[in-house]
């Protein structure tokens, strides 16, 4: 494993697309000028306020890659749970605490490489996090002080662990479900501009969220969710 620190970069995910492939290479930036979130959104990336990290792996077979976001979500969650155990997951791969998002994951499975980007709000103030598309918090706001370098190391180690599980086919979505309190609840899901409300029954073996409404079952992939 190799961990490289950069002063400034457009996006650590984009950086790993440009360089020659090296397995288990992790890049951390002090700031990003074009941090990317999921669904074409941007990711707030002020200097030294967050962990902006991406890891590089061999691409996964398409059958296994659909679980990548879930598995890497658990990897990041487990790193954060070492500080306190109130963190939980919101499908497909956001880490939450007290109803607010603290970390997000952006996996990109390309033909020659798998890149996983992780953003954790470390020392942002609530004021700095205002105006985002979702309610957000930071480790500092939640009373946790941590060293970004140490967090980078812990997260990278966990990403390697969960990548191996994905490759071997031993990652079980039940592990994700066990940290995902929205399972069993009424949720509203936005997918491709359509809004679905129903009971979240669980996640199937391909990573789809199973939603039940009036006896009808709907399978949803990577949508935007709000829990009622």
Query: Which 111-140 positions form the footprint of ligand BTN (CB under 6 A)?
Result: 117-119
The answer, yes or no, to whether the previous bond of 92 is cis (omega within 30 of 0) is yes
List the one residue from 25, 26, 32, 208 that touches ligand BTN (CB under 6 A). Answer: 32
- Annotate 126-151 with b (16+ C-beta within 10 A) or e (fewer): eebbeebeeebbbbbbbebebebeeb
Query: According to CB under 6 A, which one of 25, 35, 66, 203 is a site residue for ligand BTN?
Result: 35
User: 60, 73, 76, 94: which one contacts ligand BTN (CB under 6 A)?
Assistant: 94
Other C-beta atoms closer than 10 Å to the C-beta of 65 total: 16
Of 219, 194, 216, 215, nearest in space to 206 by CA: 219
Task: Looking at residues 161 to 220 of the shown chain, list those that interact with ligand BTN (rule: CB under 6 A).
Answer: none
- 114, β-bridge pairs: 57, 109
Among 25, 26, 43, 137, binds ligand BTN (CB under 6 A): 43
Which lies closer to ligand BTN via its Cβ, residue 117 or residue 207?
Answer: 117
Strand partners, 4: 27
Closest CA to 72 of 42, 113, 135, 114: 114
Query: Is 73 a residue that touches ligand BTN (CB under 6 A)?
Result: no
Instruction: Select from 71, 76, 106, 122 the one that contacts ligand BTN (CB under 6 A).
Output: 106
**Site of interaction with ligand BTN (CB under 6 A):** 11-13, 32, 35-38, 41, 43, 52-54, 94, 104-106, 117-119
């Amino acid at each position: 494993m190799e961990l490289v620190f950069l002063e400034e970069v457009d996006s650590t995910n984009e950086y790993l697309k440009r360089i020659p492939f090296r397995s288990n290479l992790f890049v951390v930036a002090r700031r990003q000028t074009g941090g990317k979130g999921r669904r074409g959104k941007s990711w707030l990336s002020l200097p030294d306020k967050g962990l902006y990290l991406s890891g590089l792996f061999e691409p996964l077979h398409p059958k296994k890659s659909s679980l990548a976001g879930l598995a890497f979500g658990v990897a990041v969650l487990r790193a954060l749970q070492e500080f306190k155990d109130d963190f939980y997951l919101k499908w497909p791969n956001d880490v939450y605490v007290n109803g607010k998002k603290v970390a997000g994951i952006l996996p990109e499975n390309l033909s020659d490489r798998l890149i996983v980007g992780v953003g954790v709000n470390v020392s942002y103030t609530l004021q700095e996090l205002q105006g985002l598309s979702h309610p957000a918090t930071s480790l500092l706001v939640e009373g946790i002080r941590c060293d970004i370098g140490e967090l980078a190391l812990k997260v990278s180690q966990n990403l390697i662990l969960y990548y191996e599980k994905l490759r071997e086919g031993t990652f079980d979505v039940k592990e994700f479900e066990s940290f995902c309190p929205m399972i069993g609840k009424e949720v509203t899901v936005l997918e491709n501009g359509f809004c679905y409300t129903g009971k979240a029954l669980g996640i199937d073996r391909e990573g789809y969220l199973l939603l039940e409404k009036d006896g009808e079952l709907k399978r949803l992939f990577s949508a935007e969710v709000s829990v009622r």
